[in-house]
């Protein structure tokens, strides 16, 4: 914030204007924040505005507005839309940015399917709006839901009914049909809406996407009805019977049922045709009359789509080819340092606000100290090696939803007094040393839990959507409680004692505070209680351990089934984990020495000697092997998990948390499948499918695919050329079948 006149010297008129400005700014910030797609203010700036508003209101109580931001801290608590769990998850798309990515995508698809022949793909514009799932039963529109987190969306049925492009009734449709597509607003309608809003003194929108989102997500459907929203259908969810055999056929069918489908959808037969259509769409982009941000390619054959299946959050059979990033030049005003959940010290560029592709950008990421200096992790030059200095004239770019970055620096505009940026070597929040590990480009605060920035970021992560997802307890409320002396939340366990501590507080109850009321507090306590039962995977992810992401947390949960089993395995494997670390160090040392002595490094010997010196018990080694052979769990992740659980303070904090929880084991993915819960190993040559497909298919049916045969293996699927694994299976008495028998086993599943 720039320097401001002392509040005591304000006139009433000035104060009134400023309160109006603050109300608008904060409302916009709240909207951006709560939609969770584009928070446009830093938390510190938001809080500063909020304080300024409160100070002005205290000085001029008569001027307090009816829509005062002070009354809206917890205003969103418990309000809003009902939740709808999607019968079929709503996924996102993998992005591609380069022309070459298109051929790579086609190559990946065909190699996954082991197809030498060309494949057909649909290519269509990627509409820049928000996705919506419409459920029809016996031809009647019964439900409309936003994407939400992909698993659960918001019930916006009443609002969707007001959109002219969305049919209320269908004839000749499957008895259950979920149509998915994009809600958007045309450029002309967006301009007219903003003009109306401005004339009425209301809020205007930054771009058509925000306008569409803000209009659909209105609690009062009559407001949605007055907004000119449109809808393109491009996909489907649950179905009682297939729509067609191909993607293009299915889209055709949706068009026949009365949906708007995009007229620029084409069937292409090679990456070259796909690219040509991409260029064609790009050339028309400015005159289409609505925003698009790329082209989506989808495998046309639906039986191949189903063989290809999904990764964690994206289908293997589709990709979004984005249009190039948008660019703008502006001044770098300051470099701020933020401390993340795992202590990472991240520099952030504060920019003179500039519009980049319709969005005002005032912050950009600077990644790390090497990036500011102009070299990447391999020591190679970025921006031709130009460093970034405060005061520089910089080129900002943003591609789609990604955080803006700095593409270039104009050295001819560099102020004479600009000095190279001195990256801090201590944490700006807790003054602990900030260190860089060998080979890591990130400097980290070593303060751990004593660092308030790490503690608060961990709490924010803990309540985030993929973690505990507590309604009404978002980043803002966490900051408030973290700083609160009466009702503090300093670690996750404190969240679960909030209600009882509030009841014990004689001085001031939360419900009497500004921004809270009876109802919002009751709702908050209920939302917290609701999460006392928590799936194991969410708990593991919520702990925010470095390297332990959502997918790894799910893998760990599936493998160990309970927190106690996981913790016991990690404890048991601790000596082996330390031996692994010692072996890494010995290897690095041996490599360095060998380079100096100009000989080949004896890596294996060095590692083995380091491990032998620690005399690790076989049980520990076995537990470590089991931990690191889990899908997607390598030694780096396992070591981080091991360190976290071996840290006494951290472990105590986790135990305090778990005392409040009932941890639920993961749901078996597909209990009805004949292979659910079984551990399967594939070996030898598979002829009808690739290894990747076999693994993905088995996992989607609830089986666990392991890399080696052990006493825990249930089935070995052996193709021609099976070697040592077949022998192991024989020795251990593991059931062995060939590929055809496996396919017969899972057919119909
Ligand atoms: S297909 C399983 N087609 O892009 C994937 N998505 O980045 C289903 N989108 O969430 C999506 N235009 O909101 C598909 N022609 C199109 C699209 C499209 C826009 C959006 C959609 C999705 C997001 C993924």
Q: Are residues 644 and 703 in the same domain?
A: no
Average pLDDT of the residues in 350-378? 87
pLDDT the model gives residue 31? 63
CA distance 333 to 343: 25
In a domain, 442, yes or no: no
63: in domain = yes
Whether residue 612 is contained in a domain is answered as yes
Q: Please give the share of the chain, as a percent, with pLDDT higher than 70.
A: 93
Residue 305 has pLDDT above 70, yes or no: yes
Give the confidence band of 75 by pLDDT, cuts at 50, 70, 90. Answer: very low
Do 633 and 740 lie in one domain? The reply is no
In a domain, 424, yes or no: no
CB of 694 sitting under 6 A from ligand 1: no
CATH number at residue 725: 3.40.50.10190
- Same domain for 280 and 250: yes
Cβ atoms of 655 and 493 within 8 Å: the answer is: no
Give yes or no for residue 200 having a pLDDT over 90. no
Q: Across all residues in the chain, what is the average pLDDT?
A: 89
Name residues whose C-beta falls within 8 Å of residue 564's C-beta, 6 or more positions apart in sequence: none
Per-residue pLDDT at 478 exceeds 70: yes
Name the residue with tokens 């939302």: 527
The reply to whether 369 and 272 lie within a common domain is: no
Find the mean pLDDT for residues 125-152.
95
Q: How confident is the model at residue 103 (pLDDT cuts 50, 70, 90)?
A: very high
- Residue 81 is assigned to a structural domain of this protein: no
User: How many whole angstroms from 92 Cα to the centroid of ligand 1?
Assistant: 6
179 lines ligand 1 (CB under 6 A): no
Q: In whole angstroms, what is the distance from residue 241 CA to residue 246 CA?
A: 14
522 and 631 assigned to the same domain: no
How many whole angstroms from 130 Cα to the centroid of ligand 1?
A: 9
Count the domains in the chain. Answer: 5
Please compute the mean of the pLDDT values over residues 425-432 and round it to a whole number.
96
In 81-173, alpha helices (H): 100-113, 157-160
Domain stop point among 397, 413, 429? 413
Indicate if 32 and 43 belong to the same structural domain.
yes
pTM of the model: 0.64
CA-to-CA distance for 704 and 680, rounded, in angstroms?
6
Task: Supply the range of the domain harboring residue 272.
Answer: 93-322
**Atom 9 of ligand 1: nearest residue by CA position:** 126
For residue 78, is pLDDT > 60? Answer: no
Q: Which atom of ligand 1 is nearest to the CA of 91?
A: 2
pLDDT value for 2: 35
126 an active-site residue? yes
User: Do 201 and 253 fall into the same domain?
Assistant: yes
Weakest mean pLDDT among 490-494, 671-675, 711-715: 671-675
CA–CA dist 474, 46 (Å, integer): 14
Tell me if 436 is assigned to some domain: no
Using the 3D structure, point to which of 413, 446, 474 is the last residue of a domain.
413
Write down the pLDDT at residue 706.
Answer: 84
118 and 179 in one domain?
yes
| CATH (domain of 169) | 3.30.470.30
- 644 plus 544 within the same structural domain: yes
Q: Residue 100: which of 265, 272, 267, 268 has the closest Cα?
A: 272
- The verdict on residue 84 lying in a domain is no
Asked which of 14-18, 67-71, 92-96, 712-716 is least confident by mean pLDDT, the reply is 67-71
User: Ligand 1 centroid vs 93 CA: distance in angstroms?
Assistant: 6
What is the domain-level CATH number for residue 384?
2.40.50.140
* Mean pLDDT calculated for residue range 607-631: 89
Please report how many Cα atoms fall inside a 13 Å half-sphere around the Cα of residue 368, on the Cβ side: 16
Active-site position among 50, 126, 298, 476? 126
Q: Is 713 helix (H, G, I), strand (E, B) or coil?
A: coil
687 and 652, same structural domain? no
Residues 507, 629: one domain?
no
Q: What is the pLDDT of residue 110?
A: 96
280 and 169 together in one domain: yes
Distance 448 CA to ligand 1 centre (A): 40
SS3 sequence, 221-253?
HHHHHCCCCEEEEEEEEEECCCCCCEHHHHHHH
How many C-beta atoms surround the C-beta of residue 21 within 10 A? 12
Q: Is residue 130 part of a domain?
A: yes
Condensed to tens digits (0 to 9), the pLDDT of residues 331-357 reads 999 999 999 999 999 999 999 999 887
Task: Say if ligand 1 is within 6 A of residue 318 CB.
Answer: yes
Domain boundary at 634, 664, 694, which?
664
Strand 176-184 with 393-398, pairing: unpaired
């Amino acid at each position: 914030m720039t320097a401001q006149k002392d509040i005591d010297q304000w006139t009433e008129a000035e104060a009134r204007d400023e309160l109006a400005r603050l109300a608008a700014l904060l409302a916009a910030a709240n909207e951006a924040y709560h939609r969770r797609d584009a928070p446009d203010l830093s938390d510190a700036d938001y809080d500063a505005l909020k304080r300024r508003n409160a100070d002005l209101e205290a000085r001029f109580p008569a001027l307090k507005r009816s829509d005062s931001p002070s009354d809206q801290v917890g205003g969103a608590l418990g309000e809003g839309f009902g939740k709808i769990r999607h019968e079929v998850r709503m996924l996102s798309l993998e992005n591609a940015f380069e022309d070459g990515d298109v051929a790579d995508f086609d190559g990946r698809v065909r190699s996954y399917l082991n197809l030498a022949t060309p494949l057909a793909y649909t290519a269509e514009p990627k509409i820049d709006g928000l996705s919506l799932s419409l459920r029809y039963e016996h031809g009647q529109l019964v439900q409309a839901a936003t994407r939400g987190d992909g698993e659960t969306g918001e019930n916006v049925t009443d609002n969707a009914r007001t959109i002219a492009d969305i049919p209320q009734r269908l004839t000749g449709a499957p008895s259950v049909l979920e149509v998915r597509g994009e809600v958007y607003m045309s450029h002309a309608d967006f301009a007219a809406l903003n003009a109306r809003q401005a004339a009425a003194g209301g809020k205007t929108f930054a771009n058509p996407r925000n306008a569409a989102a803000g209009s659909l997500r209105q609690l009062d459907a009559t407001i949605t009805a007055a907004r000119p929203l449109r809808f393109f259908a491009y996909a489907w969810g649950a179905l009682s019977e297939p729509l067609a055999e191909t993607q293009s056929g299915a889209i055709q069918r949706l068009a026949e049922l009365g949906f708007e489908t995009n007229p620029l959808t084409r069937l292409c037969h090679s990456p070259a045709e796909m690219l040509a259509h991409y260029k064609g769409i790009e050339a028309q982009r400015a005159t289409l009359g609505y925003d698009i941000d790329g082209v989506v390619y989808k495998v046309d054959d639906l039986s191949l789509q189903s063989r290809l299946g999904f990764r964690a959050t994206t289908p293997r059979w589709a990709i979004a080819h984005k249009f190039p990033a948008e660019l703008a030049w502006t001044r770098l005003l300051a470099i701020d340092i933020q401390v993340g959940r795992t202590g990472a010290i991240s520099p952030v560029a504060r920019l003179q606000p500039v519009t980049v592709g319709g969005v005002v950008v005032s912050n950009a990421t600077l990644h790390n100290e090497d990036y500011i200096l102009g070299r990447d992790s391999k020591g190679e030059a970025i921006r031709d090696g130009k460093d970034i200095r405060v005061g520089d004239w910089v080129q900002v770019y943003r591609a789609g939803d990604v955080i803006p970055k700095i593409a270039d620096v104009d050295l001819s505009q560099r102020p004479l007094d600009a000095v190279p940026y001195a990256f801090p070597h201590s944490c700006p929040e807790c003054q602990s040393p900030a260190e860089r590990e060998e080979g890591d480009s990130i400097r980290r605060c070593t303060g751990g839990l004593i660092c308030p920035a790490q503690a608060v970021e961990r709490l924010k992560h803990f309540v985030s959507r993929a973690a505990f997802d507590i309604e009404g307890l978002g980043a803002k409320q966490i900051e408030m409680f973290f700083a609160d002396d009466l009702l503090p939340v300093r670690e996750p366990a404190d969240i679960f004692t909030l209600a009882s501590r509030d009841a014990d507080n004689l001085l001031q109850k939360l419900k009497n505070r500004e921004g809270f009321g009876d109802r919002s507090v009751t709702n908050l306590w209920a939302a917290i209680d609701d999460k006392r039962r928590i799936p194991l995977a969410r708990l593991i992810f919520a702990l925010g351990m470095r390297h332990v992401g959502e997918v790894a947390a799910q893998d760990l949960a599936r493998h160990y089934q309970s927190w106690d089993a996981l913790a016991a395995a990690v404890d048991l494997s601790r000596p082996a984990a330390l031996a692994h670390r010692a072996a890494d160090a010995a290897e690095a040392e041996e490599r360095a020495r060998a380079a100096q002595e100009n000989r080949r490094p004896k890596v294996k010997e060095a590692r083995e000697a380091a491990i032998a010196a620690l005399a690790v018990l076989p049980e520990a080694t076995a537990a470590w092997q089991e931990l690191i052979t889990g899908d997607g769990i390598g030694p780096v992740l396992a070591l981080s998990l091991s360190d976290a659980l071996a840290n006494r303070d951290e472990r105590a904090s986790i135990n305090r948390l778990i005392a409040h929880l009932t941890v639920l084991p993961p749901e078996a993915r597909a209990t009805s499948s004949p292979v659910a819960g079984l551990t399967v190993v594939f070996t030898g040559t598979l002829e009808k499918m690739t290894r990747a497909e076999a693994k993905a298919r088995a996992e989607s049916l609830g089986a666990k695919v392991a890399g080696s045969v052990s006493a825990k293996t249930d089935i070995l699927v052996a193709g021609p050329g099976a070697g040592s694994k077949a022998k192991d299976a024989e020795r251990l008495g593991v059931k062995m079948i060939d590929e055809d028998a496996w396919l017969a086993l899972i057919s119909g599943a």
